[in-house]
Structures are given as structure tokens and as C-alpha cells.
Structure 1
């Protein structure tokens, strides 16, 4: 019979073995964990039979289950809840994080590529900001990063796909054109000018201009977000449903986690992905001048390197000091 997670207490050995199962399952592969593998861990000092008995107890109380006869164990949804509640102090991690927008974009791309997860980040309202200058940076192998900077030095940053010819000379020409379009204009006025002045853009950028205009329009409205790494989810999970990750997803998370600071977790049953039970969300709110702005969300399979991702969030604490 399964017990309530809040009232569950494990003896030290079972705690150690449960932690080992979680660490070995959440390694990016998500394979069932056999007792023999745990018994061989450095510092475990127990035989396979002892581990099997402990895993049987953990299965009986609902923290683990065996997907196949004679297979190793994998954590249940209740097991994940217990792991987060008992082994982490999530509410104390990244309290009142106040990043620059460049850091939001950089972190989203960095986590997505390093751990093969999806990141969805809400961006503050941007439509009325007046642009002083525009910079176009060579962000990575597929993207340019546009910095729309106001007179105070604050910026709204947007990644766009590189054109076929993405040489430095083309990037400089495009940056010069964007400065002509956006300088001394609000973001939305600049967007209208970008559409109206499309024929004056550098020739090498014409083919990409419609796509970029659409991207800018989507991300400079009153509600906007960036989503990176969504393709990783479809590669790793068995889900035919369109996950629809973006502004509507962020609104859902904000409703679920209203007034919660630090790292929060949304496990199976608390997510809008009704046909997919393989995902989990780690979410951190961020602030500017102590005022809430939006949320940074990592959407990942349960087999992802969750503990390492939480450690990445711990590093954000240094940016608050």
C-alpha cells in the first residue's frame, strides 16, 4: 500500500539506496536500475541481496516500481515527489533572481544544449521601450542575437536564425540597417518601419526578412517568450500531442506557482500535457528591482540530469549578491 509522501520516513540505508536509484536513473538515459549496479557503487558497502530487499521495500511503499519481471527499478511519480521534498531545499535556491536579459537568453541556450532539454522563458513587456541602438552578435552556429538597447543601457535580446550567408560583413550590414530602422523609435514603431523598409535591407538578408519580422513581432508584444530545445523533447519522449510550449504554457505555470520563490517542480499530473506522463518542469521566477517579471522553465524528461540542472540553478545565487 502506498503511503503519503509527507508522512514517509525511510531508514538511513533505504534512503541511501533510494538516492542511488534516483541518481542512476536521472542520468540522461532513464534505464531501470539493477541491484547489482548499486551494490558496486563506491561507499555502498552492501551486497546485492541487501539492495534487493531495500528496493522491494521501496517498491512496496510506492517510491519505485519494476517495469518488467527481473528488471531493475525505476522511480514512480510519488518517488520523484519524495526525492524533491526530502533531498533538496528547492525553495532556498535562486531566491529573488535578478538577471539581465542577456543572461536569460544565454542560460536558456546553455542549459538546452548541455542537457538536451527544452527551456521556456517569459520576457517582460517590451513594446513601449525606445531604442537607442541595435547590435547584432554572432551567438552560436545557428543564431544571431539582436540587442535592442535603450539610453539607460537596458536591452531586449532576441535570437534569430542566421541567413544562408552569415559572414561578418553581412552581419554588420544588417546591424547598420536595423539601426536606421529602429533608432529613436519604440520597439513596435521600429517593427512597423522594418516591414515598410524591407526593400532597403541588405540583399543577402531579403530571403530571411519575412521570418525575422514574424519572430520580432511575436516576441515584442505585451506577452512574449523564448523557447529553445523543444526538438529534444520530441526525440526523447513518446508523445504524439503538440506540447504547445510558449506564452500559454508560461501562463499555466504562473497560475500553478503563484507567489512561490526559488526553484519549484511541476510533476506528472500537474502539467497541461495530458497525453504525456514522461515530463517534469523545473521553474524559477525572476525579478527586476524586486518586482516579479516572469519565469524561467526547464521542461525535460524525468530521465534528464535533474540534479545537475538544479546545481546550475544554485549557481544563479551568486548573481544575486
Structure 2
């Protein structure tokens, strides 16, 4: 779609005035009064009429100003911003993911859906083996932040405290300072060094750990902003299934990407925009950080937040 320089200027002005948190129709007189425009209202109206013919704007009712269409919103984001160059190969600390989600949600009244780092990339700092109940030990694989992956295993025949202590020492030798994925490989390779009475547990343990490595998890922050805006009591399908949809549509595309709410299989997200950035750890893809915001949200400011991600986490 080719627009004249004048039409591009007017379209950009409409988007700036509309995406200010209020989402009110934009009148030609308001654009004509903007600093740096230097054009009359009639000229603006003619440009807006052409933009409407292109399908970028529409009038919500008679005698109203114009608002962007879904096509217009996506065109603006893709053509006016170099999204592919924003937050490329972002490698945040896990704590920053949660902090950023809460910060964006509170400041801009938006919802953030964040896939948590893959369990397999979690680096184990230490291992503890606890006496859980009559039949099981509880194994805690703890990272430096104090977060842990917990798995129950059957006790061996000799389930004395001394045996549990020896098993914990062996587990620390295998997993300490390694990722869970690396630890799993080491556990298989070092099975013959485990205490004889515990070797029978290793098959069960590796099976349970493999299941842990394959699990998905996510956090959703600020979904109340969607409910408050829509006035709906029914739940909206966000979280891991939502992230899978985004990944399928973007095919692991790097940089900042945009998807319209109408393009995903989620009820009540029409006139919503989804800004999505993939993130990495140790150069391996982990998941996506998504901001689900209404079309009238201050999207330019949110994009600026993403443009500063690399500086924060470099």
C-alpha cells in the first residue's frame, strides 16, 4: 500500500491521537491544530477520506471523527516502526521477566502473558533429599534464586538417614552447577557410581525428570484490565495455550512482532493488539513475552519500553 507523504503524515497523527489511552474518534480540526502540521482542516478531511478508502480508517458513526481499522492498526505498527530490529535475541534474567510484566501492566493498564524459562535450562545450585513420607523421598533441585524443581522418588529398601545423606551427596555431584538437561545425561552416564541400593531408583527418577523437562508454565499479569474494559465475567483463555497460538503464528520470528486479537482463537479480544518478543537463555530459545493491550493503549510508549530491553539486559 503506497501512501503520499501528506496521507502518511495525517495517518500518523490519527494513530498518535487515538492511541493515547482514551481511543476517541479523531477530528480533522484536532489534527490541523497539532504542532508541525501546517495544513487546514479541509486538507486533513480529504486525506482522511483517502485513508478510509484504503481501509485504514473508518467513522464509527455519522459526523464522528475517524478511528483506525484493524488493518490500519497493523499497517501502522508494521510500516512506521522497525519492529524486527527491536529487542532482537533478548536474553533477560528470569527476575526481569516478572518485574517487567508487572511494571508494564500497572503503568499502561495492559495484560502480560509470559512463558517461563524452559525447565531444562535451569541451572542447579544444590540438591536436597528430604524424608517425605513412609514410601517416598522428596528430591529438591534448587537454583541460585532459591527456586526448585521437586520430585518424589520411591525409597530404597535401606531407607536410613545415612543412605539418604549418601544419595544426596551423589545427586549433588551429578547435578551441581549443571542444567537439569545436562544433569539428566550425567545421571545416566554416572549410574554405576551410585550406591547399589539406590541404582534401582534411577530408572524411575530419569523418567520423572524427563516429564519435568517437558512441562510448560507461564504467568499472566493484569488480566483484570481486560475484564474491566469488556465488562465480562467469563474467563478469557490466556496462559500456555495462548502462547502456543502466538508461537504457531510467528514461527519463532525474532524481534518485536504484532498480532491482532482477532487473529487468535480467544473470545472478546477484538480491537486488541498483541505485542510479542521471544527471549533466549544461553542462546537457546525459551518462550515469548506478550503484551495484550487494547487498540487505544499508548502503544508507542510500550514499543519504546521494548526498544530499551537490550540495554537493560546487556
Structures share fold, TM-score greater than 0.5: yes
* 1:318 paired to 2:311: yes
1:25 to 18, 21, 24: 18
Counterparts of residues 211-230 of structure 1 (less than 5 Å)? 222-230=215-223
Aligned CA RMSD, in angstroms, stands at 2.4
- Whole-Å Cα distance in 2 between the matches of residues 79 and 240 of structure 1? 30
Moved more, 25-34 or 239-248: 239-248
User: Does 1:111 find its partner at 2:104?
Assistant: yes
- Mind listing any 5+ residue stretches in structure 2 that lack a counterpart? 128-140, 153-211
Unaligned stretches of 5+ residues in structure 1 = 1-7, 134-147, 158-185, 191-218
Match of 1:163 in 2: none
Contact (CA 8 Å) 1:27, 1:305: kept in 2 or not? yes
Q: How does 1:58-207 map to 2 (within 5 A)?
A: 58-126=51-119, 130=124, 132=126, 150=143, 153=144, 155=145, 186-189=148-151
Higher-Rg member (1/2): 2
Question: Are residues 276 and 118 of structure 1, via their aligned partners in 2, closer, same or farther at CA, if it must alter by over 3 Å?
Answer: closer
C-alpha change, 1:102 and 1:31, in structure 2 (3 Å) is same
Q: Shift of residue 149 of structure 1?
A: 5.7
Moved more, 301-310 or 274-283: 274-283
Q: CA deviation at 1:232?
A: 0.4
Q: Distance in 2 between matches of 1:104 and 1:243?
A: 22
Q: CA deviation at 1:276?
A: 3.6
Equivalent position of 1:207 in the other structure: none
Indicate conservation of the 8 Å contact 1:263/1:282, yes or no: yes
Please state if 1:291 is matched with 2:284. Answer: yes
Which deviates more, 68-77 or 80-89?
80-89
Using the alignment, how far apart are the partners of 1:118 and 1:125 within structure 2?
22
Following TM superposition, by how much is the alpha carbon of 1:85 offset from its aligned partner in structure 2, in angstroms?
2.0
What are the superposed Cα offsets for residues 51-96 of structure 1, whole Å, 9 maximum, x if unpaired?
1111111111111000011100000011112102210110110000
Distance in 2 between residues matched to 1:41 and 1:313, nearest whole Å: 27
Shift of 1:268: 4.0
Q: Kindly tell me: are residues 75 and 303 of structure 1, through their superposed partners in 2, closer, same or farther at Cα, counting changes over 3 Å?
A: same
Report the CA distance between 1:129 and its aligned residue. Answer: 6.2
Tell me which stretches of 4 or more aligned residues in structure 1 moved more than 6 Å.
none
In structure 1, how many angstroms separate the alpha carbons of the residues matched to 2:304 and 2:90?
15
Say which SS state the counterpart of residue 119 (structure 2) adopts: coil
2: CA distance, partners of 1:126 / 1:188: 12
Q: Is the 8 A contact 1:97 1:316 kept in 2?
A: yes
* CA apart distance, 1:235: 1.2
Give yes or no for the alignment of 1:46 onto 2:39.
yes
What is the CA distance between 1:234 and its match in structure 2? 1.3
**What's the CA shift string for 1:217-246, capped at 9, x where partnerless?**
xx9982111110000011123666532111
Deviation string for 1:171-228 (max 9, x for gaps)?
xxxxxxxxxxxxxxx52249xxxxxxxxxxxxxxxxxxxxxxxxxxxx9982111110
Conserved in 2, the CA contact under 8 Å of 1:239 and 1:276?
no
Deviations 1:97-126 (A, max 9, x none): 000000001000000000000001101233
Deviation of 1:320 after TM superposition, in Å, equals 5.2
Would the aligned equivalents of 2:57 and 2:69 in 1 still touch at CA under 8 Å?
Answer: yes
